[in-house]
Amino acid sequence: MVSGCIGAMGGLERWQSVGPIRAQAVVIVYDEVGTADVSKQDQVIDLRAGTIRASARLPETEWTAKVTEAGGVSFKSKGPAVPAAVRARHVAALKMILHRVRGPLNLCGRGERARGAQPVRVDGMDLIRVPAQDGRGGIAAYYFDAQSCLLRLVTAGADAPGGEGTVTRYSYRTMANGLAFPERISVFRIGRHVLVGDEPVLEVNYHEVSF
């Protein structure tokens, strides 16, 4: 299932040869009470190196950050200091974005392993659920579209309604080079009675993507 998904995204060999990905993104980070923090970011994502760099210019300040898969964090701002809680949310968001952009490639030598597969129906979609072993950040399972093989959902922290965790939802577009890249990544808290809840955590809308 995983190899089929990567094939639908353009193929493992081609993805392994991809260099830094440059993109503009509108990133919405939500705090604990649902207040949205919106920023337009210039991002550079290096999937092989496991790094993401981002910069944002806001009316009152501007900041740049680098987050690595290994846990490294650099965050610098100009103008009024960015509050610690806001900085922490942006850093956490970048860590999540780095992992989610890689998608099923996380299951190819990045420390995560697939454990079987089973057909399920979630949120009106026919999907194939692939549990993850040793998932980074508490990743529980990947859900692939049963028809297109593209990745549709990723659960973390829990994998059932009522659990304490998140579910990431994807929509893809095929780039001019034939590789499929997320057009939108939306993260919600798992619902009480449904897997995909309605409490947002993060939303990333990509445009001007270049490889």
pLDDT of 43 strictly over 90: yes
Residue 2's pLDDT band, with cuts at 50, 70 and 90, is confident
What CATH number does residue 118 fall under? Answer: 2.50.20
Instruction: Measure the CA–CA gap between 102 and 84, rounded to whole angstroms.
Output: 28
Q: What average pLDDT is seen over the chain?
A: 94
Kindly state the average pLDDT of the residues 59-73.
94
Give the pLDDT confidence score for residue 135 in this predicted structure.
Answer: 62
Which H, E and C letters describe the chain, residue by residue? CHHHHHHHCCCHHHHHCCCCEEEEEEEEEECCCCCEEEEEEEEEEECCCCEEEEEEECCCCEEEEEEECCCCEEEEEECCCCCHHHHHHHHHHHHHHHHHHHHHHHHCCCCCEECCCEEEEECCEEEEEEEEECCHHHEEEEEEECCCCCEEEEEECCCCCCCCCEEEEEEEEECCCCCEEEEEEEEEEECCCCCEEEEEEEEEEEEEEEC
Domain count, the chain: 1
What is the percent of the chain with per-residue pLDDT over 70, rounded to a whole number? 98
Give the pLDDT confidence score for residue 32 in this predicted structure.
Answer: 92
**113 vs 28 pLDDT, higher one:** 28
Residue 192's pLDDT band, with cuts at 50, 70 and 90, is very high
Q: What is the span of the domain harbouring residue 202?
A: 2-210
Q: What tens digit of pLDDT does each residue of 71-127 get? A: 999 999 998 889 999 999 999 999 999 999 999 999 987 678 898 999 999 999 999
Kindly state the average pLDDT of the residues 43-59.
95
